Amino acid sequence: MLGWIFLWAFVDKVFGLGFATEAEKAWLAGGSPTFGFLKFGTQGPLVGIFQSMAGNPLVDWLFMLGLLGVGLSLTLGILNRLATWSGVALLVLMYLAVLPAEHNPIIDDHIVYLSVLILLNGMQASRILGFGNKWAVYTKGRKWLN
C-alpha cells in the first residue's frame, strides 16, 4: 500500500489526473512537479532553502525518479533496502519543508510513513509479499541490492 502511495503521486504528477495535480500543471504538459509545493507549501526555518529549489529541472527529475523508484520497488518487493532508505530521505526532506507540521508540531504523515518504511525493511517484508525471495536469488552476495 505504501508503494502505491508513491506510485500514485508519480502517475498523478506526470499526467495531471486532477487529484493532486491539475491537467494543465502535469509534468507532460510542461509543468513542474515540485514548483507548487516548494514555492507555496513550504514554511518554517528552512523555507528559503526549499523555495529556492522550486521549478529547478534537476530537483523535478530527482523527485520524480524517487517517487517512481521507491513506488515500484516497494510494490514489487525488490531493491527493498535501497527503496527504504531513498523513501526515508525523500520523506525527511518533505517533513523539513513543512516544519512545524500543520496539525501536530512533531508527528505528521511523513514521520508515520518513514517509520513504516523502516519497519518494512527491518521485517524484510518484501520476502513475504512481493518478489523478494526470487530477487534475493539473483542478487546473492550483493546485500545492498536486497
Judge whether 31 and 21 are in contact, CB under 8 Å: yes
| Integer Cα distance of 7 and 88 in angstroms | 15
Residue 28: CB atoms within 10 A of its CB come to 10
Nine cell digits for residue 48: 528559503
Query: Any idea where the domains of the chain sit in the sequence?
Result: 2-145
Q: pLDDT tens digit string along 72-101?
A: 999 988 888 889 999 999 999 999 999 887
Asked whether the predicted pLDDT for residue 141 surpasses 90, the reply is: no
Residue 140 to residues 6, 123, 132: CA-CA distances in angstroms? Answer: 27, 19, 12
Q: pLDDT tens digit string along 29-77?
A: 999 999 999 999 999 999 999 999 999 999 999 999 999 999 999 998 8
